[in-house]
Amino acid sequence: MNESIKRLEEKIAHLEHHVTQQDKAMLELADGLAGVRRELRALRDRLTAGGGSEGEAERVDERPPHY
| Whether the predicted pLDDT of 58 surpasses 60 | no
Angstrom distance (rounded) from CA 64 to CA 41: 25
pLDDT score of 5: 96
Give 10-56 pLDDT, tens digit per residue. 999 999 999 999 999 999 999 999 999 999 999 999 999 985 555 45
Cα atoms in the 13 Å half-sphere on the side-chain side of 60: 9
- Distance (Å, whole) CA 57 – CA 51: 10
Q: Where are the domains of the chain?
A: 14-44
Task: Identify the DSSP state of 23.
Answer: H
Tally the C-alpha atoms within 13 A of residue 61's C-alpha that lie toward its C-beta: 3
pLDDT score of 59 more than 90: no
